[in-house]
Amino acid sequence: MEHYNMNLTLKVWKQKNSQDKGRFETYQVKNISSEMSFLEMFDVLNEELIREGKEPIAFDHDCREGICGMCSMYIDGRPHGPWHANTTCQLHMRAYKDGDTIVVEPWRANAFPVIKDLMVDRNALDRIVQAGGYISVNTGNAVDANAIPVEKDKADASFAAAACIGCGACVAACKNSSAMLFLSAKVSHLALLPQGGPERKSRVLNMVAQMDREGFGACTNTGACEAVCPKEISISNIARLNAEYIGAGLVSEK
């Protein structure tokens, strides 16, 4: 693809802290290379702002290679921008042309309070995982990896669910701010494997309870989550989660 430079207008959400009301600020960025990433374009803008003695724009990022789940920009009405199965850090400026205006907002959900500008607090997702998104193993010698047979189809489905990077785009996209795609990925990942068996029931019950405590909405199966998920987590996982929860919740003897 041919290289080109562009000038852009950015409308970016600025907010001092979680108490501040926040507002949009408009910035002009010049000479942006089509080969830059979206976050590199923000780096260029921030360096410019620092040079001018202004406050740079705060945004989350870490790996910049689509695997950590830290980047989180809601770009022109879509979490992670216009590309399918993509993270903000892997969005490249060739998606835009000279003269474009781009509106950038933080993830919006009461469970994700804004820390500053485009950074939101996603610890709620970590607390959901802490409530049961793990398996307990005894220490000692490592067991041979192939000692427990796993059906190929289940191993594949578990692996696909395990690809979730916990970015929260599903929550940001959902009209209900529901974390069900995230939760269903974490639950399916372990429920499909024999290693997840012993804690299977308590896991799903505790994780759903934590999700409800965090103030996420309920799922109405609209599919917006699946459409924006950078890891293409399937919405079928949500139906599996429902089955896991109903099974665990209704047959318990207590």
Q: Does 220 bind ligand HEM (CB under 6 A)?
A: yes
Q: What angle do CA 104, 227, 215 make, to 5 degrees?
A: 70
Q: Does 162 bind ligand FES (CB under 6 A)?
A: no
Of 172-191, binders to ligand SF4 (CB under 6 A) are 181-182, 185
Q: Which two tokens stand for residue 114?
A: 């804004």
Pick the stretch among 44-52, 67-75, 122-130, 198-206 that binds ligand FES (CB under 6 A): 67-75
Q: Does 41 bind ligand SF4 (CB under 6 A)?
A: no
**Which of ligand FES, ligand HEM, ligand SF4, none has residue 229 at its interface (CB below 5 to 8 Å by kind)?**
ligand SF4
Selected from 38, 66, 189, 192, the binder of ligand FES by CB under 6 A is 66
Query: Is the Cβ of residue 19 or residue 146 nearer to other proteins in the bound state?
Result: 19
**DSSP output for the chain:** ----EEEEEEEEEE-SSSSS--EEEEEEEEEEETTSBHHHHHHHHHHHHHHTTPPPPP---SSSSSSS-----EETTEET-SSTT--GGG-BGGGS-TT-EEEEE----TTS-EEETTEE--HHHHHHHHTT-S-----SSPPPTTSS---HHHHHHHHHHHT-----HHHHH-TT---HHHHHHHHHHHHTSGGGSTTHHHHHHHHHHHHHHTT--------HHHHH-TT---THHHHHHHHHHHHHHHH---
Query: Is the Cβ of residue 60 or residue 226 nearer to other proteins in the bound state?
Result: 226
Q: Does 62 bind ligand FES (CB under 6 A)?
A: yes
Q: Does 201 bind ligand SF4 (CB under 6 A)?
A: no
Selected from 6, 37, 59, 61, the binder of ligand FES by CB under 6 A is 61
Helical axes 180-191 vs 152-162, angle rounded to 10°: 150
Q: Does 246 bind ligand HEM (CB under 6 A)?
A: no
Burial class (CB in 10 A: 0-12, 13-18, 19+), 23: exposed
Q: Name the minimum Å distance from CB 60 to ligand FES.
A: 8
Q: Name the minimum Å distance from CB 242 to ligand HEM.
A: 9
Binding site for ligand SF4 (CB under 6 A): 164-170, 181-182, 185, 229-231, 233
Q: In the complex, which residues of this chain contact ligand FES (CB under 6 A)?
A: 61-64, 66-71, 87-89
Query: Which residues contact other proteins by CB under 8 A?
Result: 11, 22, 24, 74, 76-78, 103, 105, 108-111, 173, 175-178, 205, 208-209, 211-212, 215-224, 226-228, 234-250, 252, 254
Q: Using CB under 6 A, list all residues that contact ligand HEM.
A: 218, 220-221
